[in-house]
RNA sequence: CGGGGCGUGGCGCAGCCCGGUAGCGCGUCUGCUUUGGGAGCAGAAAGCCGGAGGUUCAAAUCCUCUCGCCCCGACCA
């Protein structure tokens, strides 16, 4: 392709609203433009990157027997009502009515329609298993679109659905996807972790997420380098370091006006890990007292898994439920449900005395209070791994994919059944597996960039090589450039030739920004000596190669890397 | 949905507090010079100052409402 004909609107400055590196660079380098909050236009270069990612995804999905289908983006309300999600999902679903006044919605995912199809056209165990996938636009009215292409309201998603006879079959389909996904991200050239994840509102029994490390990410994972334990912090288990407990004598201490852990620790000159933090929350079933260690943070998602949706109690609710002003609550002698983090099981702690202006020392689980124990603290760096005891690392990540075992959550309500060998009707056992191609692109930019611009992995770069004649008005340079360009295209490489009559500086800056992995620079002086320069975008290393060997040399580099 | 910030030529910004009818840098166009890391000089085009209402002789500037965008949080199937 000729640069002079390609629409690549590069910018010297990043738009004011861009924050994430990938956002700034993708806009500056002319890959995308924003139409409105969470709505992006993919320009020619961006389009090529997406096409390449989607191609890799398709190849790997086809390799495990996936079959591509196309689903309607516009859905009737009925299927969503049958699974209960029409009501369960709130403002995040775009809803509308057709001219006949029928309720419709824009599909934000396709469990319903895929299962509808299975319900209608899968009849016999002989037809199972099946893996169907789609690479399509989905719409979600995100509460807060952000970080460029990372969280948008309209986005392409590859998702596949597996249909099996039983759990054993699902295991196999799940395993196929688990491996296929690893290949996809590896081929796309991004760093990623596979972590245990919450099944969330998708339902189901097992789930993993594929996480690409990046500070622009919205999630955090806990990782153990020693044994490989990896989990989303939403469910990561960890064992905090055990403090040295002072002697366990139970005594009341006056702590006037000292309410927060911070105030009390300073007042009593003790470290926060010797305290019990008592947090009252209001659940659908009434107030619940959550207990974590003073140096830890309650993880609301972990707690939600135990008690359902909840919110922190107001000051007057604390007083009403416990008869104690907030700031002096202790775990002793309340009749309400109490959930304590396991780190409180042993040891002797300081806690609120359930009496205004007082705390108590020497509080022991099983002696001063009883509670259900469950890991409800947020894992932090340095906590011990539950599997091997080595310290955990916490890293910020972009979720680039997820896989779920759905079981019969959707097949049961939509009556997606099959007949087994004995003629008995059974629900199809399903799995669902998603990938966000735009997030792969963004993650690649987040992971591959320098002060000059993007550094694409070869496999998803919009072009593999850029041929850059420094002076297009020099006949010899242009002849050599055109010849190289034609020869490389002939070999099947994707080549961009910068045939613009621009100053060298501009061409170099644009080339760096756009991030094509390899660059051949044709300069007048070098050409007179019969050489051109071959520059690696990533390392910046420049190699002079003989014109006669250039094509072969470039081909060698490209093939070597691929 | 809660908290904060910002809307001024295509892009990045100043002007607003202390009203007087808009300016800088980059980009764009023309000409000459230049030509290996975002050139120099000369000239030019381009802005209902997000929108509506109000105050005033006069509003980018003050007041009210509204729309949009970004950030933090909540949410994220």
CATH number, position A509: 3.40.50.800
Considering the domain architecture, whether residues A227 and A154 belong to the same structural domain is answered as yes
Considering the domain architecture, whether residues A177 and A60 belong to the same structural domain is answered as yes
Considering the domain architecture, whether residues A361 and A432 belong to the same structural domain is answered as no
- Looking at the structure of chain A, the number of domains it has is 3
Considering the domain architecture, whether residues A205 and A285 belong to the same structural domain is answered as no
Say if A256 falls within a structural domain: yes
Rg of chain A, C-alpha, whole Å: 29
Give the nearest nucleotide to A434, CA to C1'.
Answer: B77
| Separation between the CA of A451 and the C1’ of B11 (whole angstroms) | 19
Question: How do strand A251-254 and strand A465-469 relate by DSSP bridges?
Answer: unpaired
Considering the domain architecture, whether residues A224 and A302 belong to the same structural domain is answered as no
Considering the domain architecture, whether residues A209 and A123 belong to the same structural domain is answered as yes
Cα–Cα nearest to A432, from A94, A233, A37, A164? A164
**562 residues of chain A, pLDDT tens digit each:** 999 999 999 999 998 889 999 999 999 999 999 999 999 999 999 999 999 999 999 999 999 999 999 999 999 999 999 999 999 998 999 999 999 999 999 999 999 999 999 999 999 999 999 999 999 999 999 999 999 999 999 999 999 999 999 999 999 999 999 999 999 999 999 999 999 998 765 556 789 999 999 999 999 999 999 999 999 998 999 999 999 888 778 889 999 888 888 888 889 888 999 999 999 888 888 889 999 999 998 998 888 888 888 888 877 888 888 888 888 889 997 888 999 999 999 889 999 999 899 999 999 999 899 999 999 999 999 999 999 999 999 999 999 999 999 999 999 999 999 999 999 999 999 999 999 999 999 999 999 999 999 999 999 999 999 999 999 999 999 999 999 999 999 999 999 999 999 999 999 999 999 999 999 999 999 999 999 999 999 999 999 999 999 999 999 999 888 7
| Separation between the CA of A467 and the C1’ of B35 (whole angstroms) | 19
Distance in angstroms (rounded) separating the CA atoms of residues A338 and A369: 9
Say if A433 falls within a structural domain: yes
| DSSP assignment string, A49-91 | HHHHHHHHHHHHHHHTT-EE----SEEEHHHHHHTTHHHHS-T
Considering the domain architecture, whether residues A206 and A160 belong to the same structural domain is answered as yes
Structural contact between residues A457 and A189, judged by C-beta atoms closer than 8 angstroms? yes
Say if A380 falls within a structural domain: no
Say if A457 falls within a structural domain: no
Say if A246 falls within a structural domain: no
Say if A274 falls within a structural domain: yes
Domain end marker among A416, A445, A474: A445
| Separation between the CA of A32 and the C1’ of B53 (whole angstroms) | 38
Domain end marker among A445, A479, A506: A445
Considering the domain architecture, whether residues A16 and A70 belong to the same structural domain is answered as yes
Say if A245 falls within a structural domain: no
| Separation between the CA of A134 and the C1’ of B8 (whole angstroms) | 45
Give the nearest nucleotide to A91, CA to C1'.
Answer: B75
- Helix, strand or coil, per DSSP, at residue A385: strand
| Separation between the CA of A498 and the C1’ of B32 (whole angstroms) | 26
Considering the domain architecture, whether residues A297 and A223 belong to the same structural domain is answered as no
Q: What is the predicted pLDDT for the residue at A259?
A: 82
| Separation between the CA of A549 and the C1’ of B65 (whole angstroms) | 71
Residue A220 belongs to domain spanning:
3-236+395-445
CATH number, position A327: 3.90.960.10
Say if A451 falls within a structural domain: no
Considering the domain architecture, whether residues A32 and A110 belong to the same structural domain is answered as yes
| Separation between the CA of A96 and the C1’ of B8 (whole angstroms) | 37
ipTM above 0.85, yes or no: yes
Considering the domain architecture, whether residues A411 and A510 belong to the same structural domain is answered as no
CATH number, position A146: 3.30.930.10
Give the nearest nucleotide to A512, CA to C1'.
Answer: B37
- Helix, strand or coil, per DSSP, at residue A418: strand
| Separation between the CA of A8 and the C1’ of B75 (whole angstroms) | 36
Give the nearest nucleotide to A200, CA to C1'.
Answer: B77
Give the nearest nucleotide to A17, CA to C1'.
Answer: B70
Considering the domain architecture, whether residues A78 and A183 belong to the same structural domain is answered as yes
| Separation between the CA of A11 and the C1’ of B47 (whole angstroms) | 21
Residues in chain A: 562
> Which residue has 């969330």 as its token pair?
A200
With 0-12 / 13-18 / 19 or more C-beta atoms within 10 angstroms meaning exposed / middle / buried, residue A319 is middle
Which nucleotides of chain B does any protein CB come within 7 A of? Answer: 1, 5-6, 11-13, 25-27, 34-39, 68-77
Q: What is the predicted pLDDT for the residue at A204?
A: 63
Give the nearest nucleotide to A109, CA to C1'.
Answer: B77
- Whether the upstream peptide bond of residue A112 has omega within 30° of 0, thus cis, is no
Q: What is the predicted pLDDT for the residue at A110?
A: 96
Look up the protein residue whose alpha carbon has the minimum distance to the C1' of B13: A16
Give the nearest nucleotide to A453, CA to C1'.
Answer: B38
């Amino acid at each position: 392709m000729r640069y002079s004909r390609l629409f690549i609107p590069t910018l010297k400055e990043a738009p004011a609203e861009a924050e994430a590196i990938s956002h700034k660079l993708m806009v500056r380098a002319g890959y995308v433009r924003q139409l409105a909050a969470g709505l992006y236009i993919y320009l020619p270069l961006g389009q090529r990157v997406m096409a390449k990612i989607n191609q890799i995804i398709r190849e790997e999905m086809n390799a495990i027997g996936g079959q591509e289908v196309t689903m309607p983006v516009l859905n009737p309300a009925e299927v969503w009502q049958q699974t209960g999600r029409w009501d369960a999902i709130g403002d995040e679903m775009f809803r509308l009515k057709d001219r006949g006044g029928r309720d419709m919605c824009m599909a934000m995912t396709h469990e319903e329609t895929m299962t509808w199809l299975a319900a209608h056209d899968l009849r016999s165990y002989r037809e199972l298993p099946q893996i169907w996938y789609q690479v399509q636009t989905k719409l979600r009215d995100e509460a807060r679109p952000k970080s460029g292409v990372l969280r948008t309201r309209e986005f392409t998603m590859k998702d596949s659905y597996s249909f099996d006879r039983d759990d054993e079959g699902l295991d196999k389909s799940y395993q196929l996807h688990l491996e296929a996904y690893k290949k996809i991200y590896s081929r796309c050239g991004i760093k990623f972790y596979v972590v245990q994840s919450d099944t969330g509102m998708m339902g189901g029994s097992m789930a993993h997420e594929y996480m690409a490390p990046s500070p622009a990410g919205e999630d955090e994972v806990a990782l153990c380098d020693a044994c490989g334990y990896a989990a989303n912090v939403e469910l990561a288990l960890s064992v905090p370091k055990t403090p040295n407990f002072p002697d366990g004598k139970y005594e009341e201490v006056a702590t006037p006006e000292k309410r927060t852990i911070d105030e009390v620790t300073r007042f009593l000159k003790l470290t926060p890990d010797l305290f019990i933090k008592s947090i009252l929350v209001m659940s659908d079933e009434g107030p619940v007292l959550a207990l974590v260690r003073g140096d830890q943070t309650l993880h609301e998602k972990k707690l939600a898994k135990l008690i359902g949706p909840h919110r922190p109690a107001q000051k007057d609710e604390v007083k009403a439920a416990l008869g104690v002003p907030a700031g002096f609550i202790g775990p002793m002698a309340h009749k309400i449900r109490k959930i304590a983090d396991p780190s409180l099981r042993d040891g002797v702690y300081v806690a609120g005395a359930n009496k205004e202006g007082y705390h108590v020392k020497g509080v022991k689980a099983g002696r001063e209070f009883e509670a259900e124990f469950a890991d409800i603290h947020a894992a932090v760096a340095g906590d011990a791994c539950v599997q091997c005891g080595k310290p955990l690392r916490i890293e910020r990540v972009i979720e680039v994919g997820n896989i779920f075992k759905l079981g019969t959550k959707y097949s049961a309500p939509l009556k997606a059944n099959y007949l087994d060998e004995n003629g008995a009707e059974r629900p199809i056992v399903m799995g669902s597996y998603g990938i966000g191609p735009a997030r792969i692109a963004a993650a690649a930019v987040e992971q591959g960039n320098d002060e000059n611009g993007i550094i694409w992995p070869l496999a998803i770069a919009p072009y593999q090589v850029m041929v850059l004649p420094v002076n297009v008005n020099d006949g010899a340079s242009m002849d050599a450039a055109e010849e190289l360009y034609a020869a490389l295209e002939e070999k099947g490489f994707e080549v961009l030739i910068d045939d613009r009559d621009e100053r060298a500086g501009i061409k170099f800056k644009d080339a760096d920004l756009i991030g094509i992995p390899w660059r051949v620079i044709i300069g007048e002086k070098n050409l007179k000596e019969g050489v051109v320069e071959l520059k690696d975008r990533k390392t910046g290393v420049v190699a002079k190669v003989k014109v006669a060997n250039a094509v072969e040399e470039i081909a060698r580099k490209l093939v070597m890397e691929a």
